[in-house]
Amino acid sequence: MELNRRTVMAGAAAAGLAATTLGTGSAEAATGGHAGRKPVKELFGTLADGTKVYRWSLANGGTRLKVLSYGGIVQTLEIPDRHGRHANVVAGFDNLADYVAKSPYFGALIGRYGNRIGKGRFTLDGTAYQLSVNDGVNSLHGGAKGFDKHVWHVEPFTRGSDVGLHLHYTSGDGEMGYPGTLRTKVTYTLDRHGDWRIDYEATTDKATVVNLTSHVYWNLTGEGSGTIEDHELSIAASRYTPTDSGLIPTGELAEVAGTPFDFRHAKPIGRDIRAGHEQQVQAKGYDHNWVLDKGITAKPEHIATLRDPRSGRTLKIASDQPGLQFYSGNFLDGTLTGTGGRTYRQGDALCLETQHFPDSPNHANFPSTVLRPGQTYRTTTVHTFGR
């Protein structure tokens, strides 16, 4: 989700941030892909206030991952193709300044609330709250300075054959208008098979709403390689949530049958993307929440498969969440240059964000996102890579 939607540049300017990028190091070579080897840390850059931002490199089971302490951003993720050749398959920048000034949430951790809340308002236990609005009149991805624009405390770990990072951030009561002090822990794990698991946890001292997710932009052919319209996608969902012109859900749970939103059987993303459906016209493509058939589950279950016929790479996603936001990179416009030196145009990457539904606090028929003192928010998403 993204620039236009998405006044990221304004949010960064409001935060008063600027950055200086440092050269890359040899951390990737140091990790070597050995199972269970501790992640390697290197300085990536410095924010205007002097805060240092670090990059962590880890590898396991054929997957190589680079993560920034700024926003918990996945800067690169490399996996092999059918011939065993590795490529970075996520969009991002090679410098901190671009992440601060103009990133459309590339690879970031999103909070307190992933996706949109209409007019930035909701009422909880009789109290009305006004949130930071940063997408027209709406609040997007936690407001002007969401979790993606903070530096997280990172702790590396090895556990048996697993390797990973614990990321911690505490959001104060009233930050971006949200009630309660929210203590958040997100764990990135690479296992011996190369699967990437994300575990989210949060607690609060006051009733609040929470909806955490990851905003990775995928292109399985390789970052900067061109369109994702030939990627084949399946989503285990019979319904989706239509939106108004501001991309806020109307409250309807509409059937996908007979519409371009039917991905119950795998099909190329480009097959119906220009079908002229009213919902696609206002979103400039796909930018909607799919209502997963499985609902909320006790453990992650398979919900979507993405396959690139050119490289043979596949991505399977499992989650315990009730929704999946599929965004087809509609607002990439050629003004951003990625890690490989190529510009990103419309449809050059896509997002698959596991989540509760957008604007849930304002729709009683949507699954609740309320978290209360004494409760622990927990959710897990697993990415399995194949070829």
Q: Is 174 left (phi over 0), alpha (psi -120 to 50) or beta?
A: left
Structure tokens at 83: 């011939």
- Tell me the pLDDT tens digit for each residue of 156-171: 999 999 999 999 999 9
Region 132-145: mean pLDDT is 98
User: Does residue 353 carry a catalytic annotation?
Assistant: yes
Query: What pLDDT does 30 receive?
Result: 37
Higher per-residue confidence, 308 vs 33: 308
Active-site pick, 2, 78, 150, 215: 215
Handedness of CA 216, 219, 220, 223 (dihedral sign): negative
Region 309-318: mean pLDDT is 98
> Taking 60 as the threshold, does the pLDDT of residue 221 lie above it?
yes
Higher per-residue confidence, 5 vs 315: 315
**How far apart are alpha carbons 218 and 187 in whole angstroms?**
20
Query: What pLDDT does 37 receive?
Result: 76
Handedness of CA 188, 29, 64, 115 (dihedral sign): positive
- Tell me the pLDDT tens digit for each residue of 100-115: 999 999 999 999 999 9
Query: What pLDDT does 15 receive?
Result: 37
> Taking 50 as the threshold, does the pLDDT of residue 4 lie above it?
no
Query: What pLDDT does 10 receive?
Result: 34
pLDDT band at 301 (very low <50, low <70, confident <90, very high): very high
Which residue type does 21 have? T
- Tell me the pLDDT tens digit for each residue of 12-70: 333 333 333 333 333 333 334 344 578 999 999 999 999 999 999 999 999 999 999 99
Instruction: Read off the pTM.
Output: 0.92
pLDDT band at 290 (very low <50, low <70, confident <90, very high): very high
% of the chain residues with pLDDT over 70: 91
Active-site pick, 28, 175, 353, 363: 353
**Own/partner pairs, 24-28, CB within 8 angstroms, 24+ separation:** 24/94, 27/55, 27/56, 27/57, 27/66, 28/57, 28/59, 28/64, 28/66
> Taking 60 as the threshold, does the pLDDT of residue 87 lie above it?
yes
Higher per-residue confidence, 302 vs 8: 302
Handedness of CA 71, 322, 235, 255 (dihedral sign): negative
Residue 65, CA distances (Å) to 115, 152, 163, 357 in order: 25, 17, 11, 28
> Taking 60 as the threshold, does the pLDDT of residue 249 lie above it?
yes
Closest CA to 241 of 291, 177, 169, 308: 291
Query: What pLDDT does 126 receive?
Result: 98
What integer best gives the mean pLDDT of the chain?
92
Region 113-132: mean pLDDT is 98
Region 333-357: mean pLDDT is 98
pLDDT band at 204 (very low <50, low <70, confident <90, very high): very high
